[in-house]
Structure 1
């Protein structure tokens, strides 16, 4: 917005300055020509006085003094065909002025020409006694003061343009900075450490937007609090019937049926606890969750390292990331997904089977791979589908891992591992 405003002001001011300064420069040149014509008229009068009362030698001295190369050239042309000055030659206009006795002003190439006949013998003098004063006025060029005037106009235009740009920059900053502060504040709203409300600042529209955002945040807080309360209340309501069912199950005479129903109740109890924990996660993680994928991977590999040593497995962690890489998924979710994959390795491969957890960047994704040297997957098994498993499990493990990868803007892929077994790859989009 700030750059666009500056560009718009620059284009507008430049067009206005061109519309003003170009005609003004042309007008100044016209004024310079008018000034020369005025000075030339005065020189004609002065020269006429000198010619009518002095001899040719005095006239020559006077003309040498006034013909200083300032764009005005004065010449006196006598009836005998001679002349004194820089342009002694005659033409038809000079002869016409001498014969008629009338002064004239003509336009010539590059300027104008004054022709003024001077009577030496009174009113009855004929053309043969009348010299003609010719004053040639050249149009002002770059050698005159007009160049300095044009440079002054150019400098004035540059100063005005720079002043307009500075003003536009200050105006744009007064809009952009409050919006940036508001955007940064909105970006921190979903984090666990809730930022302090911003003081009202900026234009009226920005202040209205800030007020609306505060109302929206308050409403969301109320809704989240109600949701957590409802989930907690639901969990407490479920505890009583679940306890009653457990007592009834324990009173069953058939031990097989009792064990099966007890396991189902344990799963139900774990599910309720998981729902309550998920509902309360926003209290300490915030609405927007993220974690450092490298830190979580290193921590979980270290956790499983003790079991790997007990089973004589070579469990390694390899990474090419030299700095933290946040991904848009909760720390607990990513840890649970990696635990599911490693648990499959430890549960479905023989003891002593090697495994490698690698973390690397691939263009705009982060790849978290778990390779094992086990037997791999049986053909035709869709282990990422809920409720489907080829190894006697519930089939929820890799399905949960795939869901976690999708939450982070990626996917889960199962391919053959270079170690000879299975490769489980979670592609995650950096946050």
Structure 2
């Protein structure tokens, strides 16, 4: 293809250069003929014309000739060409052996003289051989350069395609950490970027699946806690001391098996959570629910357990319907995680309170307790961090649910004396907040953020 383009460009160029050389030679002949024509217009004396011819020709071996006037020299033009020039009354260029002649008629004193100027073949083709050689070399150079460039481009394309294939095979074999550096033609580079995005998406999807397993496993801790507390309330399972009837022995062994099964189940859930836990950003799930309804429904469950442990409790603000853009199951799991911490890490008989409020564009779900408090709120809010060797997922579940509703989770001192965990959820029905030109909104937002990270000194064992 490059050869065809080079020939299509260089052949017309060489032809045009040849034509320019020929036209220059004929223009020089016309100039020499004009000198003689001017002399004839002044005088038709052969001696005068001869001197003009000698002056204009120099050492040329083929001086101009004037037909019809004795000026010396050997004419080369055929008589028919001379007659044609006289008949036409215009210059005539005719081919002769060794070159061409230019014949120009000149009327002088009632007759027509013809000035003949010979142009040799060498003058007509002066320098064209070198020109054609140069053009041929240029054509060869273009072809060679194009072959090298195409070879390099093809090598880059092949290398990029091979790298993409190798990376795809590696990902197919399970190496999801492999990424490629996009290179080569634009299409292959775009394919490389698409491959990297696909690999990132695979990693995210796999991690999300593990997170889902960990979170679902953590939700099992709530009913498991109830079972453990109920099992602890049962009679002793000791059969080594005392004399018991067969029925009593069977009952105590059953109690022992129940407690052992609960301990085993707790261990299995902890192992499942710890082996599948990854730190990723969870995607918001579509859906909405009524906060008040969720709080009332879950408190039916927790109130029964609170009665068994002599815990006084109160629910406030859960009378009116308050919608939030969070799936019901997600909000219930978050509330269970926070309440489960109260039952697990505060002594029996510790009072707690659940409150729902709505103001300033946010809906707050607050869980207060009268326990010892949380020593390190920041650590409690970090995923996987715990002072008791647990999974450290409870408060992180609440935090991620709040983030789905463009909110947050904070820990502070409770009015009851213990910890106060507040889930802030954006109110979808709230009017857009007006931005103050004095920047008070930004200042208040910064103050609220700093308040959520407040530390205080009372100690509390933390789960999540």
Q: With the length of structure 1 as denominator, give the TM-score of the two structures.
A: 0.36
TM-score w.r.t. the length of structure 2 is 0.34
